[in-house]
Amino acid sequence: MKDSILAALIVILFWAALPFLCTGVVGGPPQGESAAPAADARPTDPQATDTPDEAWDSNAPASNPAAPAPEAADGFDARFRLPVLRGSEIESMDLHTYLTGVLLAEMPSSFEDEAKKAQAVASRTYCLRSYLHRRHDGAAVCVNSGCCQGWRDPSAAAPEDRARAEAAVTATDGLVIRYQGALIDATFFSCSGGQTESAAAVWGSDLPYLQAVESPGEEGATHFSDETRIPLDDFRAALAEQDGAVSFPEALGGWVGAVTYTPGGGVDRMELGGRPFSGTWLRKRFGLRSTVFTLELTAEEAVFTTKGYGHRVGMSQYGADAMARAGNRFTEILKWYYQGVTVEAY
């Protein structure tokens, strides 16, 4: 009991000290894995125009299925038209409605308001950057969380959940995240397991604002720790299919060799059967929750024990909620997970 109380106090003190560590200018008025990096995972050209003329319609009505909240009717989000791919159709949706649906789909309704605001700003930044660097013909984003960001029809949500999501969008209307004047690739995920990962370790692109940082207070996350069990014959066959040079000695203790780690604590390389395999490949091939894992072999199974859920690059949603519970504002949350950025009006 004493240990759990001490751990809670340490987390609160850690996050409470962040206002003294995080700096930046605020300008103007987190369940599975989402916000994968754009195909060209580099910062937008700082000289690029922010808003193509055709996206801005000062007289545009709110799009169905849900109209923006009355107090947001004249805001940036309500007037920005975003082409969204839903199924096989492209729908022109006002940004307020789109972001409300993203929050409903991507972040648990029980999370703190400041965490929801941080998510709203990250999601707004992500979709506006996608508008300038489109991944879909004719559409800026889709509603598939495995590709872009998840989306839930606000009209189908519980009134209280919808109201809280809308409030977070309205409170951050038009705010985005920039690094050296450019919109960032605002990736996010569910749970880090205690530390986030650098973009270079996962995708090979070293972005200054996507670096490994500590993220305590996530122990209550649904997937803070998980086990994945693979039949030993299937495990060996998968490795042999990937690399025909693998060799498995009779003693299981000789199957696993040297292991190297990334700055964020994930497995970089693991030697199996005398051959190196990347942590990202092992995660994808065996359906692991993250690259933070240990491996134990038995006569019947390969048992992976993972910490965290998602690619672990950018903002941890459970970490953001922990920061919010410790009293940090959404700007402090964003500047912690995205290093060296500013939060300002679009």
Per the structure block, which two tokens stand in for 152? 């839930």
pLDDT in tens, 222-249: 899 999 999 999 999 999 999 999 999 9
Please list the residues that pair with 304 across neighbouring strands: 228, 295
Bridge pairing between strands 293-297 and 301-307: antiparallel
Residue 147 identity: C
Q: Is the pLDDT of residue 291 over 50?
A: yes
Domain ranges of the chain: 2-220+311-345, 225-307
Q: Which residue has the tokens 């693979």?
A: 230
DSSP 88-143: TEEEEEEHHHHHHHHHHHHS-TTS-HHHHHHHHHHHHHHHHHHHHS-SBTTBSEES
More confident position, 31 or 281: 281
Percent of the chain with pLDDT over 90: 75
